[in-house]
Each structure stands twice: as structure tokens, then as C-alpha cells.
Amino acid sequence: MIEEDNVFLVPKKGSSKDKEKDKENDKGVLKPQGKKLLPKDLHPNESILEQAHNEKNKKVFKKRKVEEVATTESDNTTAKRSRTGTGTGTDVGVSTISKVSDDQDMCEPETKYALTPSENQELYSFTSKFPGLEESYRILQKIGEGTFSSVYLAKPVAKNLLPKGIKSTVALKRIYVTSSPQRIYNELKLLYTLRGHKNVAPLLDVLRHEDQVVAVLPYYEHSDFRDFYRDLPLFGIKAYMFDLLKALEFIHSKDIIHRDIKPTNFLYDPFTRRGVLVDFGLAEIDMEPITNKCPCSFGGYTSNMVRQLNVDYAGQFPKNGYLKDDQRPGRRANRAGTRGFRAPEVLFKCNNQSKKIDIWSAGVMLLTLLSRRFPFFNSTDDIEAIMEITNIFGITEMKECALFHGLEFDCNIPKIKDKISLEALIANAVMMDCKEGDTFGEDSPAWELLAAIDKKGVIQDSEVGREYAQAITVLKKCMVLNPYERLDAKDLLKLPFFDEFRDIPQESGSE
Ligand SMILES: Nc1ncnc2c1ncn2[C@@H]1O[C@H](COP(=O)(O)OP(=O)(O)OP(=O)(O)O)[C@@H](O)[C@H]1O
Ligand SMILES: [Mg+2]
């Protein structure tokens, strides 16, 4: 029986034995927020976040005083604090683990870190299994948790433990013992290679006790992506993408592919407009394309060539759908990364993957910010992920893309046919949210986008229209199916969208 809506890939689809990382995306929650209003009063360079910034700074200091007497904290607020990693101690708990000196500056986290019993227990278990750790670092609170690590905010006991110019708080990344020694070594080595750029987190120190490894990084104040992706004005999006591409330009100049570009690995502070790339756990060295690894290195196959390869199995092919018992050799490739951010060549298991996979993921981040949708792609597996991309690029281009990597692709979903423009995709995504329940606040920059692009994707001939056109040009140069035609970070930064940032001299160094 032929399944409807099947996707047909030749040679056969992925072996279940692939042991690559396949992480879930965080899901954004859309909250209704009041009435719509065109943003005529908003200065294009100003976000509501920025307007709130000074207010926030004032409040944080007041709140710290309040925390000293407050006594309770719900699990939800704890989770939120960990998630945001702001370290500003906006929530309160039942006990404290440490007290830091009084000579810190006002922007740093407060003198007391309130912890729930479970947080307290976790920190106790960590420090007790790691003798000597507390002699060097005083752990203040947990600020993040990833697939391979937990991250804590800490203060060095002796100030001279930190290189000059680095702020006095650090992030301790406790790499889980289940990570392979090779993986840990790779991450630390690459972090060490990548020091010296303000948009890339440098490695300050490494501690080891038996099988436990802790990487010491500067602590970066940042906001949870889910707290700002709907509110960032176009200027903020530009600043975000500029720092992200600067980080990529730097790591790519060292021939390093990050492989896991996504919002949680790019710590961005919308108040200071500063972004830092972290998490080199999946990073690898970029290699020259090798001819026998994937046909993409010599321009791909034609469909006749692919059929020729499958000639031995020709009699077994059903008219539509999968082979029931597929005997063809499977294809294996590195698919490490996060669902929704994987480039088409990763999904098609190309063995000549390059730095351009990071550029695709950066494009997905830009698409997310412009469309105010997170996660933008939400597939449960790679086949669905291919279909999501096919929905945008159309079947013809996807077939070409598959052949380029030596595969034949077919799909019998009648609705998916033609390519849709990225302009129309973005405008419709925003519009859909408006229809679904007034999800944007009255001062949301989403209204500006709707004033700049109509539902057919036509961009208005206005100042704001031209700015959105520039942003979409960047997007179109990132989200190119053929990695060889996708621009690199250096060339993307030369596009007019970044003019106003490019001319500002960039400070170097890690802080
Ligand atoms: N230097 C830092 N400053 C502030 N917060 C940090 C820092 N490094 C990491 N974090 C926080 O910890 C979280 C997890 O860190 P990281 O991504 O390095 O770990 P991971 O285990 O490799 O994560 P994953 O595999 O899920 O991407 C980050 O998303 C961030 O919120
Ligand atoms: Mg991470």
C-alpha cells in the first residue's frame, strides 16, 4: 500500500545507526499583548527593550535589597532565571550558597545568590565531587543547562586568577562525564584557538578532577532569545546579525565550522547590543572538498546518473514510496547540529560539508527574527525538515539540490509545488499571527514590517521598505540551497544592510 504524502529519496534514507546529535529546539510561546497600532511613534533605531533598559538598571539595584528579606520562589521562576541566564537575581530563594565581595561594580550580580533546595543540592554535589574547585571559584548560581553540560555563574576567589580586562564573574561550564574525552578535548582546543575576538567566548582556564572537566569562560550578560525575538526592531536585528556574522567571519578565518549555530549558542544582550558565540562542542575543522566523498565537489549528478547507480535495484522500486526492504548501501554523514537549523546539504548527508552550513543556520536565525516566529522550522525528523525547506524553495529546486549531492528526490504532496518568495513568506508569517489573535503589542516592530511588505511579498518603495529589502537580501544570500553559491560571512558583512555598522571601528579582544 502506498502511503500518501511520501517523500522518495534514492539512495536509501538514513540509517538508524547514525549516532549524531539530534537536539530539540526550544519552543517559543506567543502571548497576546494588546491592540495593534502602526509604529508611527517608534524611532526606527529604538526598541521597547532599549527604552526599558534604564528602567531595568534602576530596578535591579532596588530589587537586590528586597531579595535579602524575601523568602520564596516558585519552580517556574527558577526555571525562567536559569533560562534567561541574566544573573541579575531577579528571583529569590530559600538559601544562599555564597557571598561575594562588596567591591563589585553595580552592573554585576548582587551580593547574595538565593537558591532553591534542589539548586543548592546540585551545587553541593558538584563541588563535593570536585575537590579544590571552591578554593579557586565561588559558585553563585546555575545559569544554563545544555545537552552536554551545566553552566554556573562563579567568582574567582583570587582576582589575579583572571586575565587583565576580564570582568570578575565567570561562567563555569561543567562538561558531563558522559561526553567522550575526544569531544571534550576538541571543544577545549578549539576554544583556545579562538581566543581574541570580542564576539567569540574565549577559554580562560580549564579545571580537571578525574573524569570531571570544567571550562572557565567569561560570563556574558544576555537575554533569553524567547524574551526578545518578537520585539527586536530592524536596527536590533541588524546589530544581532552583525555580531553573529562577525563571530562567524572570525572562526571561519581559522577554518573552524561551529556546526551548531542557533539562538541558545549565541548569547545576545539586546540592551547593550552585544552578541557572543559560545558552545564549540560540535565544532570541527573545515576540510577541502574531496571528489569521491560527494558529487557536489564536481557539480552533482544528473537524474540519469543516479538511476544508473540504482540499476541493480531497478526491479525492486515501487511506483511511489519507499522500497519495502531496501538493500542499497546506506549513506552516512555528519549530521551533528540542531533540528531546524540544519543546512540542506547536512539533511542530504553530503560528506563535503563546509563552513557554509553555519551560514545557512545564521540565515534561519535571521528568518526567525524577521518573521517573529520561533522556532521557524519545527520538524520531528530530517525527512520532515527536507519537506519544510521544499515548501519554501519548491520541488524543482529541491530535486536539483538532491541531485547535486548524488540523490534523487521526489515528493507526492500535491500542495507543494512552486517556490515562494522569502518576502511573502515573512509577511504572511507575521500576518498569520496577527489574525490568530492579536499577538503583537501596539508598539511591536511587526507592524512596521507589514507596512513595508505586502502579503504577495512586494516591498514598498519607502525608506522602511528599502531597509527591509536590504535585510531580505542578506537572508537570500544565506539561505541558498547550493552551499558553493551561499555567500560567506565576510561577503555578507559587505552588503548594504550592514553599512552603518561596518564603518564603526571594531574593538578587538575578548572583553
Ligand atoms: N559564557 C557564558 N556566559 C553566560 N551564560 C553562558 C555562558 N556559556 C554558556 N552559558 C549558558 O549556558 C547555556 C548552555 O551552554 P552551552 O551551549 O555552552 O552548553 P551545551 O551543553 O553545549 O548546550 P547545547 O548542547 O544544548 O547547545 C547557554 O545557552 C547559556 O544560556
Ligand atoms: Mg549550547
Q: 212 near 126, Cβ under 8 Å?
A: no
Please give the pLDDT value at position 69. Answer: 26
Task: Locate 276 and state its grid cell.
Answer: 557572543
Please give the pLDDT value at position 298. Answer: 83
Please give the pLDDT value at position 487. Answer: 98
Catalytic residues, which ones? 260
What is the DSSP secondary-structure string of 79-140?
A: HHHHHH---S--S--SEEEEE--TT--TTSPPSEEEE-HHHHHHHHHHHHTSTTHHHHEEEE
Could you tell me the residue ranges of all domains in the chain? 117-218, 225-289+333-502
> CA-to-CA distance for 186 and 265, rounded, in angstroms?
17
* Helical segments of 153-296, H only: 181-193, 225-228, 234-253
Q: Does residue 214 line the site of ligand 1, with CB under 6 A?
A: no
CA 441 to chain centre: 25
What are the DSSP E strand ranges found in 340-436? 408-411
Query: Could you report the average pLDDT of every consecutive run of 10 residues in the chain (511 residues)?
Result: 32 33 33 31 38 40 30 29 29 26 35 75 90 91 90 87 71 93 94 93 92 94 96 97 98 97 97 96 87 81 73 70 74 90 96 96 98 95 96 94 89 85 96 78 90 95 96 98 97 97 63 42
Please give the pLDDT value at position 161. Answer: 63
* Atom of ligand 1 lying closest to residue 148 CA: 21
153 CA distance to ligand 2 middle (Å): 16
Q: 306 near 406, Cβ under 8 Å?
A: yes
220 CA distance to ligand 1 middle (Å): 10
The CATH classification number of 117-218 equals 3.30.200.20
Q: Does residue 221 line the site of ligand 1, with CB under 6 A?
A: no
Has 173 been labeled as part of a binding site? yes
Please give the pLDDT value at position 410. Answer: 84
Please give the pLDDT value at position 453. Answer: 96
- Find the angle CA(179)-CA(511)-CA(78) to the nearest 5 degrees: 55
Please give the pLDDT value at position 507. Answer: 57
Q: Does residue 154 line the site of ligand 1, with CB under 6 A?
A: no
Q: Which CATH class is domain 225-289+333-502?
A: mainly alpha
Length of the chain: 511
What are the DSSP E strand ranges found in 349-502? 408-411
Please give the pLDDT value at position 442. Answer: 84
Q: Which H/E stretch holds residue 154?
A: strand 149-156
